Chains A and B, each alone.
Chain A
């Protein structure tokens, strides 16, 4: 049943995922050096140029130009900044809220647990997409509103997983020992409970990261996404959707970027889940 597998084979998918994410992050950090042009420099006479390998394309615009004659490669590279920033910010915020609630509910139990669990129940019965559109259409889109909404949507995942983990940990001897010798509650939470909850948090985070980037694209489609001077991948995808049949590269390039990054996030998530806790329920 259980075969011995060489390291590389066991970790191949995870390594692929990590590599993809690493490349995406590197692009985002080094965007001004990697991108051949400014992502916002417009040239109306050079609009809709196809990628270099298609007839009519040229090497000066490797991935072609968009409806305003902007270089798509430059926009995809710069777009990584916004899309990844949205993903990371949403993950960090969601994880902070969710883990805090999960730890509190799991450790203290009783009415605190009941109250927080009720909150989780309310959130779970609230249709997420509708919530997101509702909030964003009411308060307006933009970077922070989108991050906030994504965090609001995902904190439950952390809260549930962390609560379960904490409940199992707190019954163990070393926690009892710490309590008996009079370690303050905050200290117990920090030194004994939190470290044990880290692995499930990281697993949920890598899935959430993928989900956040995908959801940002969906929100852009509905007209309530991040919409600033610099494009996110979702915005690019949405801006190009009228040209899907006449100039496919406007949507294909950011689409591939999204799909790859999401794939990276999901591969990492799977891999970490296998390593940390194969039985972890999602």
Chain B
């Protein structure tokens, strides 16, 4: 039955494609020479190819990572990997010294050297690039000193543990080109030293990368890579099943089952974003100021059931506000215990519950479903919820003003860096959208960020994690699960931070 239909369809397909090709004199979507390109489908389009305007991990980030190099690159586990820098050391508390590769040229023939680094870092610190480039802001970088052609010193205002982390997002473009070219043009004609160079780009449709033959490292397995923008998720999955796309990014966990077919598999990993319902301490519901109420909320929601049913078991519960492997292993998730939740509410003087607004934006898929389910868990406690969708711009404004009404669906910090993750919940921090403020916590976090001894710092960080965990400024949920689709023709280990590295894809 199947084979009969298959044969019939193939014949019909052959017929249509022949007539179509004949009618138009157009090539029938075939690539005569070599293997067909590896096609990657994302929901969004690449925004800009200016390496210093990078603002999203995929697809823009994935393309930038392929065309440009940075001094160090971040391995999937967060550790730094040598790239344009071969080695580094701390000369003193505020100075980092980097040895650079001496065999790198940009695709336009310009050589890579210490001066190139200096020019690029200087550009990052000017508008409009400095809103997106956080190297100077986050590390306190104040001086870039050229020691010799292939040695460079980075001097910071205070000791920092974050230098290598942010260097991974500081990309080096051909210095003369990026200085002399108008930003308009630089944003569409990138010149870097990465494993690929830009083949062609038609906005809103596809961007093609071709292997850079003069690349200093190993040549990639996929000689040609195409990034396609396909906004509708079901269309992306259908393309994969039809064999016309090799990698699909951005699939919600509850349809993961549909991705598997005779030509494709589904791959799931736990992302780094810590999803939670933020609890607004200074919102319209004063009850939320009481830590007992916040703990009660955490006990009231059956998070494991939600993960099992809504996310197909694709991720796990948060156990700290810091991602593994840096989390305090002594901390355990709040158990689902409606009785305990009721008791805690009664202790706090809210035995009859209270009205609560639940807000979500379009930023994260599933916000609506999660809000609805959380509301249904809170109902038995007498907490009557109103669910509100908030337009994204408005939502972001209220996040930075810490002015959301009640609880809200949010995910923070797709990164592995305890210092950066902890600082978010200090008093008045721009990302501290719940308005949580505990001086004891702040003291520990500050002390940790200036402690260069690894063991001591870890101990301080563990202490801070414990305080904030029990204060519960969030209703802890899970790590944002990533679901990918991949065709059986290629192999790739997906990263948790959603960057794709096409040069690591192998074509079977």
Contact = CB atoms under 8 A, between A and B. Distances in A.
Interface stretch (B101-109, B332-340, B368-376): B368-376
B309 interface: yes
B386 A239 contact: no
A88 B369 CA distance: 28
Interface stretch (B36-44, B152-160, B193-201, B251-259): B251-259
B310 interface: yes
B387 A242 contact: no
A58 to B, nearest CB: 18
B146 interface: no
A40 B368 CA distance: 12
A141 B362 CA distance: 12
A243 B309 contact: no
A45 interface: yes
B390 interface: yes
Given A141-B389, A229-B387, A40 B372 contact: yes
Contacts of B506: none
* Most chain A CB within a 10 A radius of its CB, from B305, B362, B387, B391: B391
B126 interface: no
A42 B234 contact: no
B442 to A, nearest CB: 35
A228 B388 CA distance: 7
A229 B386 CA distance: 7
Nearest to B241: A245
A141 B368 CA distance: 14
Contact of A44 (B258, B309, B386, B389): B309
A242 B234 contact: yes
Contact of B369 (A67, A227, A241, A245): A67
Contacts of B305: 44-45
B391 A140 contact: yes
Nearest to A48: B254
Nearest to B254: A67
A244 interface: yes
A243 B255 contact: yes
Please classify the interface of chain A as helix (H, G, I), strand (E, B), loop, or mixed, using the class held by over half of its residues: loop
A228 B387 contact: yes
A227 B359 CA distance: 12
B394 interface: yes
B390 A140 contact: yes
Given A44-B310, A47-B309, A245 B234 contact: yes
Nearest to A136: B391
B389 A41 contact: no
* Most chain A CB within a 10 A radius of its CB, from B306, B386, B387, B389: B389
B208 to A, nearest CB: 29
Interface in A11-55: 40-42, 44-45, 47
A109 to B, nearest CB: 43
B90 to A, nearest CB: 49
Given A140-B394, A244-B234, A239 B368 contact: yes
A117 to B, nearest CB: 35
B233 interface: yes
Contacts of B386: 229
A242 B369 contact: no
A223 interface: yes
Nearest to B362: A223
B44 to A, nearest CB: 14
A42 B372 contact: yes
B391 A242 contact: no
A68 interface: yes
Contacts of B394: 140
Interface in B324-379: 362, 368-369, 372-373, 376
Interface in A203-260: 223, 227-229, 239, 241-246
A112 interface: no
A242 B376 contact: no
Contact of B373 (A44, A227, A243, A244): A44
A244 to B, nearest CB: 6
Contacts of A67: 254, 369
A68 B389 contact: no
Nearest to A228: B387
A227 B361 CA distance: 12
Contacts of B376: 40-42
Given A67-B369, A140-B390, A140-B394, A242 B309 contact: no
Contacts of A138: 391
Nearest to B302: A44
A60 B306 CA distance: 23
Contacts of A124: none
A137 interface: yes
A40 B374 CA distance: 12
Contacts of A227: 368, 389
Interface in B7-27: none
A158 to B, nearest CB: 30
A67 B390 CA distance: 22
Given A42-B376, A246-B255, A241 B234 contact: yes
Interface string A132-150: 0000011111000000000
Contacts of B391: 137-141
Interface in B374-409: 376, 386-387, 389-391, 394
Contacts of A223: 362
A45 B306 CA distance: 10
B481 to A, nearest CB: 15
Contacts of A242: 233-234, 252, 254-255
B358 to A, nearest CB: 10
B266 to A, nearest CB: 13
Given A42-B372, A44-B310, A246 B389 contact: no
A41 B368 CA distance: 15
A45 B234 contact: no
B306 A44 contact: yes
A246 B257 contact: yes
Contacts of A45: 305, 309
A6 B104 CA distance: 90
Contacts of A229: 372, 386-387
Interface in B253-284: 254-255, 257-258
A45 B252 CA distance: 19
A68 B368 CA distance: 11
The 3 A-B pairs of least Cβ separation, nearest first, read: A44-B309, A42-B376, A140-B391
18 contacts: A40-B376, A42-B373, A42-B376, A44-B305, A44-B309, A44-B310, A45-B309, A68-B310, A137-B391, A141-B389, A141-B391, A223-B362, A229-B386, A242-B255, A243-B255, A245-B234, A246-B255, A246-B258
Given A223-B362, A242-B252, 6 more contacts: A67-B254, A68-B372, A229-B372, A242-B234, A244-B234, A245-B258
